[in-house]
Structure 1
């Protein structure tokens, strides 16, 4: 028996993102090709700019909660009513038909997956790392690629680990790989290269690699955040 078409809850964590929130919400509206978007939940962690105003203006439902992306995404998931949860960073733009592509995979018994990545930059350095996102291994995953997961699997795994101030996407996706047959959709989410432009492409990628290494060597969320705070969040 074929599954019934699932509806989708889109969850976007934000904090002072007035320059990006309208663009991503417009892209969602323009690139939707099904009638299965149940809701768009913008989870705000205490913005002091016009993020909330612009989100409401675009018709999104705004939820206010504590700061911290893992906490914000978990709050959005608790409020969501969709069969599928689609977590999207505010500066990552989904492709045309993203919703239909997610639904098609779900109907083929795939309960978790993401898109490939494309930066809004012509840098060959960034293009190489974006190319790596076609490889279906946990080391090649990240929140910028967006993430869909069935609400049932999300709840079974307990959601994002709120001890992680950073690396929360990677840690959760690694648990998804152990639980499900994780799929990569052959289309691209376009994400901003703003962090690379600010910190330097090679420097930032080096620090991300060290954070990956620290995690694989068994260091916990406090150590990862301390490294991030000292080397990236300047």
Structure 2
């Protein structure tokens, strides 16, 4: 069984759209969807009633905390961590199951943005191969639950870039992973609210500081100063 975990805070419209997309996937009937809502979320769980769909009102806010909390109640032996503003391809679940069947313990997806833009295409082209940015949350980590738990789940001290920190531990422990060459659709809203140059320079700075060992709270403070987030 596959458990799709979606951390959410203020994502009402995106959640409705994503739940609809997931409900139409092949093999979804053998999967579960857990929406991990922050304590401050404005989403009404009663707005959706679908088989295999569960809402969890988390005790604390923060992607790492919310995803960890959902993972503890997940019934699946494969965990999939999907952002609310990311849309999966039609063969999403099949791609995940095939990757695990091929002997990998984990994987990610390549992606493209939901806006046609030459520079965004350049950015997206890097997601299909290993690079300094591999492991970001928009690439949708999927992993065997046993491996995820053995690695200690996401670090809740890492209030920003918890995905990169977890990927760092994956590599240190030589967890076999694969990047699925079948694009997710990722929201370009961060670029629309800021600018291409500003987002790219900010991302490069934050990743560099993370690799130099800057603590999560300082990275989060810097991120919020550099970028406008809707």
Deviation at 1:20, TM superposition (A): 0.5
Match of 1:189 among 175, 179, 184: 184
Match of 2:7 among 2, 6, 13: 13
Secondary structure at the counterpart of residue 187 of structure 1 = strand
Structure 1: stretches of 5+ with no match in the other structure: 1-6
Q: In structure 1, what is the Cα distance between the partners aligned to 2:50 and 2:28?
A: 19
Q: Tell me the residue number matched to 1:44.
A: 37
TM-score normalised to the size of structure 2? 0.92
Match of 2:153 among 159, 179, 187: 159
Question: Residues 40 and 61 of structure 2 are in contact (CA less than 8 Å); yes or no, is this contact kept in structure 1?
Answer: no
Question: Contact 1:34/1:100 (CA < 8 Å) preserved in 2?
Answer: no
Q: Which residue of 2 aligns with 1:4?
A: none
Instruction: Give me the whole-angstrom Cα distance separating, in 1, the residues matched to 2:33 and 2:210.
Output: 32
Describe the SS at the equivalent of 1:20. Answer: helix
User: How far apart are residue 138 of structure 1 and its match?
Assistant: 5.1
Shift of 1:51: 4.8
Tell me if 1:147 matches 2:131: no
Question: Does the 8 A contact of 1:15 with 1:51 survive in 2?
Answer: no
Asked if the contact 1:136–1:183 (Cα under 8 Å) also holds between the matched residues in 2, the reply is no
Aligned to 2:123: 129
Where do 4+ consecutive residues of structure 1 move more than 6 Å? none
**Is 2:22–2:28's contact at 8 Å kept on the other side of the alignment?**
no
1:57 to partner: Cα distance? 3.6
Secondary structure in structure 2 of the residue aligned to 1:189: strand
| Alignment pair present for 1:176 and 2:170 | yes
Structure 2's unaligned 5+ residue stretches are: none
Q: Is 2:193 aligned against 1:198?
A: yes
The answer to whether the Cα contact below 8 Å between 1:44 and 1:52 also exists between their aligned partners in 2 is no
Per-residue CA deviation, residues 182-206 of structure 1 (Å, 9 max, x unaligned), is 2001101101111110111221121
**TM-superposition CA deviations, 1:116-175 (whole Å, max 9, x none):** 011001111111110000112453331011110000110001110101111011111222
Instruction: Compute the TM-score of the two structures, normalised by the length of structure 1.
Output: 0.91
CA contact (8 A) 1:22 1:58 kept: no
Residue in structure 2 matched with residue 211 of structure 1 by the alignment: 206
C-alpha distance after superposition, 1:1-58 (max 9, x if no partner): xxxxxx1001000012111101111111112346431x1100000245335343x345
Q: CA RMSD in A?
A: 1.6
Query: Are residues 1:64 and 2:57 paired?
Result: yes
Q: How many residues align?
A: 226
